[in-house]
């Protein structure tokens, strides 16, 4: 049961295989044939060949073969019906089905796409013209995005209203079931539709085929999480979506490279800076499904986000992905502590330069470590060598490890055999158990070095985020965590609809930390839960504020006295036992830190 055979034949005949394949790989005409590098295996000399007259392809390297339907199925990981529907939409052909229920389900999904598309237009018009959207427009202008950027990316604004979108969609002849199933609203206790997004800057999300599927919304108030994404729906599956892929796909194929970012504004910044092959995940960690999509488009993956965090939390998984999907990771060296959107605002050309000068993943991590180390003295070089050896030891390839050992030996003037021994020791002990570190042991900095234990206050906060998310969800922010592993774990928890989703979408070391803390009860001292959570929030903000103060003092920031005064208020209230007042001070500090981050 499915699509009528004659309609399948019409789609196959109407599809230009050369044009279709050209969206995914570079083709060169040789006589009556077209050739290119095969998208189904890694090769340096083109062996993938298309016969345009017959509408078929064949790879002499891996023996992949088929027609347009086979090609799109393999490249975009679709089933047969999805592939035919994808090509029918491209050719403007209306399909017929031989089973009424099957046809109904397909029509149902199309209706959901239409509801999201209508919502995109509704939110977009509000952002452009509505008085209530003034704050959103000011925020965008403050980030450097003008009206042209708003129109280019179809940005929108969700008003602070219970049902303004729902009313509009119902007036546009969408049913309550359509609106709810598309994730645009939910039925509240009064049995009325209530909009899913309120008072947020809206980033529309399309799938790789260009179908509207959902939204990412950034809060413009202090209420709720900073970012909220559409819930899972029949058309929105966050682990299989990449923001910007609908715009970037052609450029990714043409350049043989994809730039991976963390956020929506980062993707916008890269596109506006002349790097149109940038995409980002949609409120979730990188997963196997993302690379199953990307590997057919490009083999070079450039990371353009907090590479220190990536190094701590995702190294093992990056190497696994490199081997499994035959891709190569490299890192764009952006200014430390700044996201791409901030860099773009000050110097758009810097983004393109950073991508052009990207270095292999392991090389970047070693360079960053050595730049921060004291390698003038003998002891400093020895410590740097031990830490670098630990990084090298994480790589699965013997040959790659030895190449880095030789390079590092020359840079640090240390015997290569001694370094090989250090790498071997690191590999033997790479599964050491994570220890908690007492926050009062005198160590400080922007984050723990490899192997260093995690601040106990951060682990306490994670336990509460696991065991009582309804209480701490809106009171803790990822920026409060110094340790990259703990920060990544919190982001996974905050971005997941279900607890198991946070584990399933995380790197092994992140999942292991979450699973471990899930079986440990939060610390309790006989006080009520609300007071205990205040302890966690206040102590976490105290720690993050002191780290920020240290950084500002080092750079001579003139705002450091103001920050110090706020910290003193928090400490005074906490020491006096007034945890409620201390939390108020903590909330002021969080807002203050956010303002500093926005303007740094």
Burial 271-305 (b: 16+ CB within 10 A, else e): bbbebbbbbbbbbbbbbebbbebbbbbbbbbbbbb
At the topology level, CATH places domain 100-236 in DNA primase DNAg catalytic core, N-terminal domain (3.90.980)
| Topology annotation, domain 240-365 | Dna Topoisomerase Vi A Subunit; Chain: A, domain 2 (3.40.1360)
Q: Which residues contact 13 (CB under 8 A, 6 or more apart)?
A: 55
Pairing between strand 278-281 and 242-243? antiparallel
CB–CB of 548/596 below 8 Å? yes
Assign 454 a pLDDT band (cuts: 50, 70, 90): low
Out of 61-65, 263-267, 395-399, 478-482, least confident range: 478-482
CA distance linking residue 458 with residue 482, whole number of Å: 8
Question: What is the pLDDT at residue 441?
Answer: 44
- Chain centroid offset of residue 535 CA: 30
DSSP string, 479-496: GG--SHHHHHHHHHHHH-
> What does the angle CA 415 – CA 419 – CA 421 come to, to the nearest 5 degrees?
120
For the ranges 511-515, 524-528, 571-575, the lowest mean pLDDT is seen at 524-528
pLDDT given for residue 448 in this prediction:
36
Following DSSP, what letter does each residue of 330-387 receive, concatenated?
EE--PPTT--HHHHHHH-HHHHHHHHHT-EEHHHHHHHHHHHHS--SSHHHHHHHHHH
- Reported as a single tens digit per residue, the pLDDT across 129-180 is 999 999 999 999 999 999 999 999 999 999 999 999 999 999 999 999 999 9
The counts of H helices and E strands in the chain are: 27, 19
Residue 550: Cβ-neighbour burial (10 angstroms; 0-12, 13-18, 19+): middle
Q: How many residues does the chain have?
A: 600
First to last CA, the chain: 59
- Which residue's entry shows tokens 């292991």? 512
Would you state the structure tokens that stand for residue 249, as one six-digit string? 């796909």
| Calpha distance 425→389 (Å, rounded) | 9
- Reference 400, options 361, 429, 454, 439; nearest CA is 361
Q: Where are the beta strands (DSSP E) in 122-229?
A: 156-158, 185-187, 193-195, 200-206, 212-219, 227-229
Count Cβ atoms below 10 Å from residue 539 Cβ, excluding itself.
Answer: 21
Q: Is 438 a residue whose pLDDT tops 50?
A: no
Question: Comparing C-alpha atoms, which of 359, 369, 368, 353 is closest to residue 328?
Answer: 359
Identify the helix (H) or strand (E) that includes residue 42.
none
Between 172 and 314, name the one with better pLDDT.
172
**Dist CA 117 CA 317 (whole Å):** 36
Q: Which residue has the higher pLDDT, 3 or 429?
A: 3
Give the whole-angstrom CA distance, residue 251 versus residue 245: 10
* Inter-residue contact 297 to 254 (CB < 8 Å): no
pLDDT at 267: 96
With 90 as the cut, is the pLDDT of residue 492 above it?
A: no
Q: How many CA atoms lie within 13 A of 519 on its CB side?
A: 5
- Calculate mean pLDDT across residues 361-372: 87
Which pLDDT score, from 0 to 100, does residue 432 have?
38
pLDDT band (50, 70, 90) for residue 1: low
Give the pLDDT mean for 532-549.
82
Q: Do the bridges between strand 300-303 and strand 257-261 make them parallel or antiparallel, or are there none, so unpaired?
A: parallel
Asked if the model's pLDDT at residue 571 lies above 70, the reply is yes
Q: What percent of the chain lies above the pLDDT cut of 70?
A: 88
Nearest to 217 by CA among 186, 195, 246: 195
Give the confidence band of 447 by pLDDT, cuts at 50, 70, 90: very low
Q: Say which residue, 68 or 550, is predicted with more confidence.
A: 68
pLDDT at 445: 36
Which fold does the domain 5-91 belong to in CATH?
Answer: DNA Primase; Chain A (3.90.580)
**pLDDT at residue 310, rounded to an integer:** 47
Q: Read off the pLDDT of residues 187-212 as tens digits, 9 standing for 90 and up.
A: 998 999 999 999 999 999 999 878 99
Q: How far is 325 from 320, CA to CA, in rounded Å?
A: 8
Average pLDDT in the chain:
83
Position 333 confidence tier, pLDDT thresholds 50, 70, 90 = confident
In this prediction, residue 586 carries a pLDDT of 83
Q: Classify residue 482 as exposed, middle or buried by CB count within 10 Å of its CB (0-12, 13-18, 19+).
A: buried
DSSP state of 255: H
Residue 408: pLDDT over 70: yes
Q: Which residues contact 457 (CB under 8 A, 6 or more apart)?
A: 439, 536, 539, 540, 543
The mean pLDDT value for 320-344 works out to: 81
What is the pLDDT confidence band of residue 444, given thresholds at 50, 70 and 90? very low
Q: What is the structure's pLDDT at 563? A: 86
The pLDDT assigned to 316 comes to: 57
With the C-alpha atoms ordered 529, 532, 536, 541, is the resulting torsion angle positive or negative?
positive
- Report pLDDT for 380: 84
| pLDDT tens per residue, range 275-306 | 999 999 887 777 788 887 887 788 899 988 75
Total Cβ atoms within 10 A of residue 525: 7
Asked if the model's pLDDT at residue 389 lies above 70, the reply is: yes
Give the residue-averaged pLDDT of 328-355: 85
**Is-contact 296 78, C-beta < 8 A?**
no
Q: What are the start-end ranges of the H helices in 298-337? A: 307-325
Tell me the percentage of the chain whose pLDDT exceeds 90. Answer: 31
Four-point Cα dihedral 566, 569, 570, 576, nearest 10: 180
pLDDT at 437 over 70: no
- pTM greater than 0.75 (yes/no): no
pLDDT for position 16? 93
């Amino acid at each position: 049961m499915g699509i009528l055979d004659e309609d399948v034949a019409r789609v196959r005949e109407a599809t230009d295989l050369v044009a279709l394949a050209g969206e995914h790989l570079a083709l060169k005409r040789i006589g009556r044939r077209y050739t290119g590098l095969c998208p189904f295996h890694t090769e340096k000399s083109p062996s993938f060949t298309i016969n345009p007259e017959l509408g078929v392809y064949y790879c002499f390297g891996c023996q992949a073969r088929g027609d347009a339907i086979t090609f799109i199925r393999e490249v975009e990981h679709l089933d047969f019906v999805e592939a035919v529907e994808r090509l029918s939409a491209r050719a403007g052909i209306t399909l017929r089905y031989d089973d009424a229920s099957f046809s109904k389900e397909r029509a149902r999904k199309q209706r959901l796409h239409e509801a999201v598309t209508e919502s995109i237009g509704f939110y977009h018009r509000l952002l452009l013209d509505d008085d209530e959207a003034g704050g959103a427009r000011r925020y965008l202008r403050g980030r450097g995005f003008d009206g042209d950027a708003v129109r280019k990316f179809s940005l929108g604004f969700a008003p602070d209203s219970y049902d303004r979108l729902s009313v509009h969609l119902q007036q546009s002849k969408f049913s309550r079931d359509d609106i709810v199933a598309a994730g645009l609203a939910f039925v509240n206790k009064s049995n009325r539709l209530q909009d899913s997004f309120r008072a947020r800057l809206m980033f529309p999300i399309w799938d790789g085929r260009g179908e509207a599927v959902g939204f990412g919304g950034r809060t413009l108030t202090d209420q709720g999480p900073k970012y909220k994404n559409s819930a899972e729906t029949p058309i929105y599956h966050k682990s299989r979506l990449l923001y910007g892929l609908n715009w970037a796909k052609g450029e990714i194929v043409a350049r043989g490279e994809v730039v991976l970012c963390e956020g929506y504004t980062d993707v916008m910044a890269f596109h506006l800076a002349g790097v149109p092959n940038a995409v980002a995940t949609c409120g979730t960690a990188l997963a196997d499904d993302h690379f199953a999509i990307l590997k057919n488009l490009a083999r070079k993956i450039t990371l353009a986000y907090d590479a220190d965090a990536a190094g701590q939390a995702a190294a093992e998984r990056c190497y696994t992905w490199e081997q499994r999907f035959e891709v190569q990771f490299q890192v764009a060296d952006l200014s430390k502590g700044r996201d791409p959107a901030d860099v773009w605002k000050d110097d758009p050309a810097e983004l393109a330069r950073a991508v052009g000068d990207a270095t292999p993943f392991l090389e970047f991590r070693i360079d960053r470590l050595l730049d921060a180390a004291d390698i003038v003295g003998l002891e400093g070089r020895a410590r740097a060598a031990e830490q670098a050896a630990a990084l090298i030891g994480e790589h699965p390839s013997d040959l790659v490890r030895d190449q880095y050992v030789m390079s590092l030996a020359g840079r640090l003037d240390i015997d290569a055999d001694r370094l090989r021994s250090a790498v071997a020791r690191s590999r033997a002990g790479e599964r050491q158990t994570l220890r908690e570190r007492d926050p009062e042991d005198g160590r400080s900095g922007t984050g723990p070095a490899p192997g260093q234990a995690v601040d106990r206050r951060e682990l306490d906060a994670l336990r509460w985020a696991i065991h009582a998310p309804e209480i701490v969800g809106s009171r803790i922010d990822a920026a409060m965590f110094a340790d990259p592993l703990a920060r990544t774990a919190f982001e996974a928890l905050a971005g997941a609809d279900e607890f198991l989703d946070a584990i399933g979408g995380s790197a092994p070391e992140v999942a292991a930390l979450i699973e471990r803390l899930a079986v440990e009860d939060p610390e309790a001292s006989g006080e009520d839960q609300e007071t205990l959570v205040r302890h966690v929030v206040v102590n976490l903000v105290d720690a993050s504020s002191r780290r920020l103060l240290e950084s500002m003092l080092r750079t001579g920031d003139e705002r450091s006295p103001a920050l110090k005064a706020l910290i003193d208020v928090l400490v005074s209230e906490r020491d006096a036992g007034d945890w409620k007042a201390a939390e108020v001070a903590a909330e002021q500090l969080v807002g203050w830190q956010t303002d500093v981050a926005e303007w740094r």
